[in-house]
Structure 1
Amino acid sequence: MSRVVTKEQYFDTGLLVLAEFGFKGLNIGVLCRRLGVTSGSFYHHFGSWQGFVDALLDYWENRQVRILATLPFNQGNPDDDIRTMSVLAEGLHHAAEAAIRAWAANDESVNLALKRVDESRRRTMRKAISGIVADDATTDAVTSLGMAMLVGYQQIAAGGEELSLEGLLAEYARLIYSYADTALAGAAE
């Protein structure tokens, strides 16, 4: 007898499968076996494979918005914004995201979702950094560096190399604050 599962359970399982097997290992059979349901359950929820892919990408894409709504972000305290940015980065499903990046190279709908997620993250990071760094060009460069660090971390970690995201984020925060110190020193002269 099949059990009843929610769409969110499909999405969470889909992200786990992506992390474990990559996008080529994600299929209806694997999802249904992992969830202990029949393919009829899958089709009831999504109608088709593309229906699932679109819903999964929407779920993943809107995750940051849902999390930001629960955290002290953009409430006037730049230090809280920097801490929140780190909390967001630490909470990502990095192995699944590395698989999504590989998938994006092979599927245009995934690529478009990835571009939207990256742009949303870039805006969030830039907003946090601009509360500390006054110069727009420097803010843009430090934001790009943060995006490169996050994507690079995901790719390196997906390859099995041990790397401390917490350590990287601490160094990144120090870098951000070093520009605040430079701006303050320049203003004092």
Structure 2
Amino acid sequence: MTSPPAPQTSPLHTRFLEAGMRVLARDGYAGFKQSAVCTETGLTTGAFYHSFPSWKSFERDLIDYWRRESTERLVDWVESLPSPHGRIDALIEVALNLPHRTEAAIRVWAAGTPEVAEAVTQVDDDRTAAVTRAFEEIGIDAQRAARLAGSSMLMLIGHEASGGDVALLEWSMRHTLETDPHVIAALAAADRDSATDRKSADVHEGPGPGAAIAGQSASSPE
């Protein structure tokens, strides 16, 4: 996927949005208030209304910011990596470093707000599609890739809902890679293909200029 260009925002605007993410993580949706966000930034309500015309506008911008920074940009980065195996590993690292507590609060928020629920559904769909593509790119058939992506998302969402240890999430995700025979075979094949491609590139490129210099030195009389 290619995300749309990020909207132009001021440092003050972004400062409030990042503060909102931290308030959601610390206080949950129940504590997500304008006063808490202003206190988190150390700024006044006047500064807040200089950046946002209303609290509702701030909420919309915050959800857009979360979707952009925690999904769209990350998916674009992962899909720019050259190695299919590397993309699988990168997706796990992305999942482990998401703002889990913030996302847990956003999911609570979504339960009573249709606009937020729509955004959460879109984020989950985009993440599932990205993981499905990554598995397909190492040679997993489409149906199994979709199931692996779905189970990965269940692990992530369950972790966020439980507030458990991220190490357990990592173990669960890597356990799939290390025990599913289809994934094991596909990753091994992808690694062999990458090694073959590297050897082929080396042959076509030939020896570098350093080798020529070394050869001239060896043939020169003392």
Q: Which residue of 1 aligns with 2:34?
A: 28
Q: 1:76 to 1:28 in 2, by over 3 A?
A: same
Offset at 1:175?
Answer: 4.6
Mark the structure with the bigger radius of gyration. Answer: 2
Distance 1:19 1:87, change over 3 A: same
Taking a change above 3 Å as real, the CA distance of residues 23 and 38 of structure 1, as seen in their structure-2 partners, is same
**What's the counterpart of residue 106 of structure 1?**
112
Write the distance in 1 (CA, Å) between the matches of 2:184 and 2:175.
15
| Pairs aligned (count) | 176
- Match of 2:130? 124
Contact kept? 1:73, 1:80, Cα under 8 Å = no
Within the alignment, does 1:52 sit opposite 2:55 as a pair? no
Q: Please tell me whether the aligned partners of residues 133 and 145 of structure 2 are also in contact (alpha carbons under 8 angstroms).
A: no
Q: CA separation in 2, counterparts of 1:111 and 1:52?
A: 17
1:6 aligns with 2:9: no
Do structure 1's residue 65 and structure 2's residue 72 form an aligned pair?
yes
Q: How does the TM-score come out when normalised to structure 1?
A: 0.84
2:102 to 96, 120, 145: 96
TM-score, structure 2 as length reference: 0.72
Equivalent residue letter for 2:91: M
Q: Are the counterparts in 2 of residues 14 and 26 from structure 1 also a CA contact under 8 Å?
A: yes
Root-mean-square deviation (Å): 2.2
- Aligned structure 1 segments of 4 or more residues deviating by more than 4 angstroms: 181-184
CA distance in 2, matches of 1:110, 1:72: 25
Gaps of 5+ in 1: 185-189
Number of the residue aligned with 1:85: 91
Q: Is the 8 A contact 2:78 2:91 kept in 1?
A: no
Q: What SS does the corresponding residue of 1:6 show, helix, strand or coil?
A: helix
- For 1:162, the equivalent position in structure 2 comes to 165
Gap regions ≥5 residues in structure 2: 1-9, 188-222
Counterpart-to-counterpart distance in 2, 1:51 and 1:116: 20
Matching residue's letter, 2:33: N
Question: Does structure 2 retain, via aligned residues, the 8 Å contact 1:18–1:25?
Answer: yes
- Equivalent pair of 1:133/1:139 in contact (CA under 8 Å): no
Could you tell me which residue of structure 2 aligns to residue 143 of structure 1? 149
What is the CA-CA distance between 1:48 and the residue it aligns to?
A: 0.5
Tell me what 1:179 maps to.
182
1:55 aligned partner, one-letter code: D
Aligned position for 1:187:
none
Cα deviations by residue, 1:77-129 (Å, 9 ceiling, x for unpaired): 21011011012112200011011111100111111110111111011111111
- Taking the aligned partners of 2:179 and 2:139, their CA distance within structure 1 comes to 10
Identity between Structure 1 and Structure 2 (%)? 29
